[in-house]
Amino acid sequence: MALPRTYDSQNCSIARSLEVVGDRWTLLVIRSAFEGVRRFDDFQDALGVARNVLTDRLIRLCDEGILRRVRYQERPDRFEYRLTRKGVELWPVIMTLLKWGDRHYAPGGPPLLVGHAGCPGLLTDRLTCDHCGAVLEPDQVEPRPGPGALDI
């Protein structure tokens, strides 16, 4: 028996948020958007997700105002997907989930370190730089391989 998708009987902001971002592919699409992925085929390549599932998640994220669809080519029309302000506000959630996963599910160490661009520092659990103390935003960080990174 499948669980219901909505939580109409619950007066809970967590439950309502889960209606929008509470499945694996949705969170991974959002993660990829923070990594700079913008185009459908690039999302598919990065995630290995079926086209129909990706289409569904992109439509839902656009309908919810988390992503916006922007034309980058005509004849044929081609679109890319960009985070909106509402989408960018998910950055602390994604980074907190990453840090939690690093602590509990990365036995070889974090596969990815989030560095402060232009600084030797790394992102802390409080979303600040461990070197200079700056509060970090998504456009101020860069990925760095961690000790648990796979050599591919």
d(Cα 135, Cα 11) in Å, to the nearest integer? 32
User: For residue 1, what pLDDT band results from cuts at 50, 70 and 90?
Assistant: very low
What's residue 44's pLDDT? 97
pLDDT surpassing 70 at residue 6: no
- Alpha-carbon distances, residue 100 vs 92, 104, 105 (angstroms): 12, 6, 8
Supply angle C-alpha 127, 66, 15, rounded to 5: 80
pTM of the model: 0.89
Mean pLDDT, residues 139-147 taken together: 96
| Percent of all residues in the chain with a pLDDT value above 70, rounded to a whole number | 94
